[in-house]
Amino acid sequence: MEQVVTEFEIGQGDDARTLAICHRNATDDQTRPGLIWLGGYRSDMTGTKAVELDRYAEENGLACTRFDYSGHGQSGGDFMDGTISRWLEESLAVFAEFADGPQVLVGSSMGAWIALRMIEELRQTGAGDAVSGLLLLAPAPDFTSALHEPLLSDEQKAQLAEKGYLEEPTPYGPEPNIFTRALFEDGRKNSVLKGIIETGCPVHIVQGMDDPDVPYSHALRLVEHLPADDVVLTLVRDGDHRLSRPQDIDLIINAVAQMTQTPAVS
């Protein structure tokens, strides 16, 4: 299971940064899709879901790529410089470098937003067929404008205007979440919930109904923007945002099994 973390350079000059990558090649039927893990905001590739996804890939001979966005985990770069556009650029670069054949994009929370923007960009360049499916976990597309900005207090808005960022406590760690003005402004440029989203591939969404960060109504809204695709929505009645309990992992792995035609868990 142990993998070597390799370094991947992206950007030039002052914009250069080094990303930490864990990649395994397919060892079985190489016609089956590989897996690309796209993590959430301030998460990293050592989280439970990412590790279990990689474990399943190893056991079933699938290619699998995990990485940390700049400013996250083991990657270089300043988190304060992070925007959806910046992390999208990194994700597309990792995809181009490591994806061999069709891939299933597995996006968690903000990673689901990145996945939706990736397929949009790939289809525009004629490379959309490189993605054979999307597995979106507690998807948070447009979270800056749709979920976060409406809840900002006048004081927080003033902090954004004066300091360029604001801090909020989070139950997921001792350090506060940081949201920059650049993140909000760039998020509007990357909005996907503004019309029909055409992915050209099957989409499976897994959403907890007890998610305090992304209400399940947001997943229902996303489905409405996917009228042209084969969409499966799995609602987990007592599921939270992490979806990391053993029963949640089983749901996720079984969705992966369907999308890669590999064995499900019992």
Say how far residue 129 (Cα) sits from the centre of its chain: 19
Identity of residue 175: E
**173-191: pLDDT as tens digits:** 788 899 999 999 999 999 9
Q: Over 80: is that where the pLDDT of 9 sits?
A: yes
Q: What is the pLDDT, as a whole number, of residue 30?
A: 75
Q: What is the pLDDT, as a whole number, of residue 2?
A: 63
Q: What is the pLDDT, as a whole number, of residue 28?
A: 79
Q: Over 70: is that where the pLDDT of 1 sits?
A: no
Q: Over 80: is that where the pLDDT of 3 sits?
A: no
Q: Over 90: is that where the pLDDT of 29 sits?
A: no
**59-100: pLDDT as tens digits:** 999 999 999 999 999 999 999 999 999 999 999 999 999 999
**241-261: pLDDT as tens digits:** 999 999 999 999 999 999 999
Q: What is the pLDDT, as a whole number, of residue 266?
A: 74
CATH number of 6-142+193-260: 3.40.50.1820
Q: What is the mean pLDDT of residues 30-53?
A: 96
Could you tell me the pTM of the whole model? 0.96
CA distance 173 to 44: 13
Residue 16, SS3?
A: coil
Beta bridge partners of 58: none
Residues 133, 139, 142, 143, Cα dihedral to 10°: -160
Tokens of 101: 């054949």
Who wins on pLDDT, 170 or 83?
83
Query: What are the residue ranges spanned by the domains of the chain?
Result: 6-142+193-260
Mean pLDDT for the chain?
95
Q: Over 90: is that where the pLDDT of 224 sits?
A: yes
